[in-house]
Copies of this chain bind each other. A is one copy, B any other.
Amino acid sequence: MDWLKIFRGEKQKNSAQTAKDRLMVAVAYQREGRMNGPNYLPQMREEILAVVRKYIRVPDGAVQFNVQREDGLEVLELNITLPEDSPR
């Protein structure tokens, strides 16, 4: 997947918001032939975010959550605008 193109395109679309560093995390779960994702998904996502927070200081207010669902596909997106001194 050409992630560079995907994220660069997003940057241009939202250029006014992206002068600072940004962190984007997407977790997608795709199930064949079943409508609902597993019920551990929310907790697994929280733990994945906790790992990211270990490495990058993420202010609570800077995190945007977005969940997209369609048939057997469920995608959690985290879009985080980082303070200038964010790297640990």
Residues of A in contact with B (beta carbons under 8 Å apart): 1-4, 6-8, 10-11, 18-32, 38, 40, 43-44, 47-48, 51-52, 54-56, 66, 68, 70, 73, 75, 77, 79, 87
Instruction: Say whether chain A's binding surface is mostly helix, strand, loop, or mixed.
Output: mixed
Partner of A32, one of B20, B24, B47, B56: B20
A60 to chain B, nearest CB (A): 19
Residue in chain B with minimal CB distance to A46:
B51
Inter-subunit contact B40/A4 (CB<8 Å): no
- Report whether A27 and B32 are in contact in the complex, using a CB–CB cutoff of 8 Å: no
A73–B26 touching, CB < 8 Å: no
A88 vs chain B, min Cβ distance (A): 8
